[in-house]
Amino acid sequence: MNKIKSKLNLKLRSTILSTTAFIGLFSLVIQPVNAQQISPTTSFWNKIFKPSRRDPEPPVKPRKGTARPGKPICLISPDAPAQTRIIWNTKPFFLWKGDIKKIAVGIPGSKEYLKTQVVTGSQKANYTGRPLEPGKTYRWSISLSEIDTASYTMFVPFKIMSAPQRNRIGAELRLIERLYKDKSPEKIALTKAKYFAEKGLWSDALQQAYSVPNPSPELSQMIEDIPNELCK
């Protein structure tokens, strides 16, 4: 009888340990998108252009130049950190401050461009060409003229994330959408932006914030402040 009880107790302890381990593993899997771990919107944006003492440099590194005297150009996204910026989206987002007339995307070392877009009067644009290839490096070029023969004056390289990494992140983004299916488009976009920021994918984070169709007054003010703060 005692042997039977001992076996039952051992089996019960084993079951409890297995269940605990499974719960722990499950919590790790969903940790990146747990709603309770999403910090307030303001703290996320403060992290972009209000550095802390521990990290005195802002994570976004704009490339700055001058179009002509008194007319500075500031390329915000993709930015220009020490290492080439990695981007998840195969149709990246471009953000700048200054009087740019035309942008183009091409492959470094090639004189041909995959796509050119006239952007006169704008300070942002989504890439409208065919999706870029995962794992490849590209170059964002800007021109101060709409004329086809005009030369490009500033360049920023960027790289599309490899396919396996993109697929993993894509699955987690779909999970965010399911968890937040009853929330507003702005809440979903900012949750994704926070997720991207935690992975250091700042171009994708900014793209989410700027993609909200009817932003709240708070988000509208943040969108207006970002170029001014980053291009000081």
Q: Could you state, in order of their start, the residue ranges of all structural domains in the chain? A: 1-33, 39-51+163-230, 63-160
In order of 38, 79, 100, 188, 191, the CA distances from 168 in angstroms are 19, 24, 35, 18, 17
Q: What is the per-residue DSSP string for 2-58?
A: HHHHHHHHHHHHHHHHHHHHHHHHHHHHHGGG-GGGPPPHHHHHHHHHS--SSS-S-
Radius of gyration of the chain (CA): 23
Query: Which phi and psi angles does 189 have, rounded to 5°?
Result: -65, -40
Answer CATH for 63-160 from 3.10.450, 2.60.40, 3.30.70, 1.10.260: 2.60.40
Query: For every one of its 232 residues, what pLDDT tens digit does the chain have, with 9 covering 90 and above?
Result: 544 445 444 444 443 343 333 223 223 333 344 434 434 555 555 555 455 555 545 677 888 876 555 678 999 999 888 889 999 999 999 999 999 999 999 999 898 999 999 999 999 999 999 999 999 999 999 998 898 888 888 999 999 999 999 999 999 999 999 999 999 998 899 899 989 988 989 999 999 989 999 988 888 888 888 888 888 8
Closest to 207 measured CA to CA, from 124, 98, 84: 124
Cα separation, 60 vs 98, in Å, equals 17
pLDDT in tens, 62-118: 888 765 556 789 999 998 888 899 999 999 999 999 999 999 999 998 989 999 999
Contact indicator for 75, 62 with CB cutoff of 8 Å:
yes
Contacts of 182 (CB under 8 A, 6+ apart): none
Spatial contact of 196 and 88, defined as CB atoms under 8 Å apart: yes
Its pTM stands at: 0.76
What would the DSSP string read from start to end of 48-92?
A: HHS--SSS-S-S---EEEEEETTEEEEEEES---SSPEEES-SS-
Q: Are 139 and 95 in contact (CB under 8 A)?
A: no
| Pairing of β 93-97 and β 102-106 | unpaired
